Amino acid sequence: MKKLLLIIAIIFIGFGVKQAYLAYSTDDNALYAIENKPVDLFDLDDPRVRIVYFGFTRCPDVCPTSLAMLSGALNQIDPETLQTLRPVFVTLDPERDSPEHSAEYAHYFHSSIEGVSGSVDAINELARRYSVTFHKTELKDSALKYTIDHSSYFYFLKPDGSLIRKVPHTISPDPIVEAIQSLSLPAN
């Protein structure tokens, strides 16, 4: 009887160790949101159209302007249409932009914009998939040490990740609103 209890205890301990490992381990190719929650950008059970913007939180001009324009567009559409969209900010600087920091930055512009980060490999893979051009540029005599030079587009994606269209950087929300209105959006 003692041997049986010992075997059962070992099984439960082993199961607990495995569950703890799975809960705290990270996938090098995954994206993460607040509290290191894994984010599946291409969840086929989520029918919303993704509007993905690649940038970084220390960007002095292009990223804040672009996210402000996205926010302006989201504020111009009706609530039903907004529910069919999934706006996401993906950092290109995962070394400095944690999932929490990326989310906080994105939410500053609009509460519906998700902010995500991941490993350098995960970000590179996702950026490569959509031909996002970016590179780290060293800044001599700067507290920032480096910046990220990058292209600036809004990528409209189907749930499976296929590209619907891309809208270039703009100083008006109108092109984004027009792109949203041109979509055949799923009923929520």
Query: According to the annotation, is 107 in a ligand binding site?
Result: no
Query: According to the annotation, is 59 in a ligand binding site?
Result: yes
Q: What is the pLDDT of residues 116-140, one digit of tens each?
A: 999 999 999 999 999 999 999 999 9
Question: Rounded to two decimals, what is the model's pTM?
Answer: 0.83
Query: According to the annotation, is 63 in a ligand binding site?
Result: yes
* Cα dihedral across residues 27, 30, 31, 32: positive or negative: negative
How high is the pLDDT of residue 187? 55
Q: What is the pLDDT of residues 26-44, one digit of tens each?
A: 456 689 998 889 999 999 9
Please say whether the beta carbons of 70 and 86 come within 8 A.
no
- Which CATH number describes the domain made up of 31-181? 3.40.30.10
